[in-house]
A and B are shown apart, each in its own frame.
Chain A
Amino acid sequence: YDLIQPLSVSVSPGQTATITCSGDDLGNKYACWYQQKPGQSPVLVIYRDTNRPSGIPERFSGSNSGNTATLTISGTQTMDEADYYCQAWDSRSVAFGGGTKLTVL
């Protein structure tokens, strides 16, 4: 199962960053998103399409419909610069997107 993400997204501080994740009938699966900074382990920022784990800022939000899941970061901060990965699963396997490098400049 392939999940496709843009290689890179750039945004200015304070603006809204949008990262997409495309997969066949993805809207009928649960999607989640991870943030990974260099040399660190991934951190779950969105689960079950739209939910934020405890401790994740409100500026992170998610949606999932049709063939596309979307991670939105409102009021992006320099600390949000990182790689972001989407993930989805079915009864047999788990897939990660290839990752999107978010640059805040």
Chain B
Amino acid sequence: QVLLVQSGAEVKKPGASVKVSCQASGYTFTSYGFSWVRQAPGQGLEWMGWISSYNGNTKYEEKFQGRVTITTDTSTSTAYLELRSLISNDTAVYFCARDDIVGPTQNDYWGQGTLVTVSS
């Protein structure tokens, strides 16, 4: 069965960076992509960006441009989200989700979420 397992909770200070991982299993990794979506406490879903696991093409939401990098490692079937220059408003649960290979679409499988807390 398809599984996306994310890394554990993180606590970071303002200005720091965080890197969240998402290890996939149960399907051919390079036949799909990933989107990253975050959810602040009590708030809705916010799309951050997408990557093709086939060729590494990426698309980022404009508000995160320059502060976020999404990568994949095909040798370990793992996707990564790195977010830099953290501020308190970045406190949220970050989800990885399986996506299409050519561009962001609907997400049929989701990771369990990773809580990132930004606090001094």
Q: State in angstroms the CA–CA spacing of A36 and B50 once bound together.
A: 21
- Residue A75, interface by CB 8 Å: no
Give the shortest distance, in Å, between A4 (CB) and chain B (any CB): 12
A89 touches B105 (CB 8 A): yes
Q: State in angstroms the CA–CA spacing of A99 and B44 once bound together.
A: 6
Q: How many A-B residue pairs have CB under 8 A?
A: 55
Give the shortest distance, in Å, between A33 (CB) and chain B (any CB): 9
Give the shortest distance, in Å, between B39 (CB) and chain A (any CB): 9
Interface residues on B, range: 20 to 34
Instruction: Report chain A residues within 8 Å CB of B85.
Output: none
- Residue A68, interface by CB 8 Å: no
B106 touches A98 (CB 8 A): no
Instruction: Report chain A residues within 8 Å CB of B35.
Output: 94
- Residue B59, interface by CB 8 Å: yes
Pick from A42, A44, A89, A93: contact of B45, CB under 8 Å: A42
- Residue B17, interface by CB 8 Å: no
Pick from B61, B95, B105: contact of A42, CB under 8 Å: B95
- Residue A48, interface by CB 8 Å: yes
Q: Which residue of the partner chain B has the closest CB to A89?
A: B104
- Residue B14, interface by CB 8 Å: no
A94 touches B47 (CB 8 A): yes
Q: State in angstroms the CA–CA spacing of A25 and B59 once bound together.
A: 22
Pick from B47, B62, B97, B103: contact of A91, CB under 8 Å: B103
Q: State in angstroms the CA–CA spacing of A10 and B117 once bound together.
A: 33
Q: State in angstroms the CA–CA spacing of A95 and B111 once bound together.
A: 19
Pick from B46, B59, B105: contact of A96, CB under 8 Å: B46
> What is the interface of chain A, defined by CB distance below 8 A to chain B?
30, 32, 34, 36, 41-44, 47-48, 53, 85, 87, 89, 91-99
Given A41-B112, A42-B37, 15 further pairs, Cβ under 8 A: A42-B45, A42-B97, A44-B108, A48-B106, A85-B45, A87-B45, A89-B104, A89-B105, A91-B103, A93-B59, A93-B62, A94-B61, A96-B37, A96-B45, A98-B44
Q: Which 9 A-B pairs have the closest CB atoms?
A: A32-B106, A94-B47, A41-B110, A47-B106, A99-B44, A96-B45, A94-B104, A98-B44, A44-B108
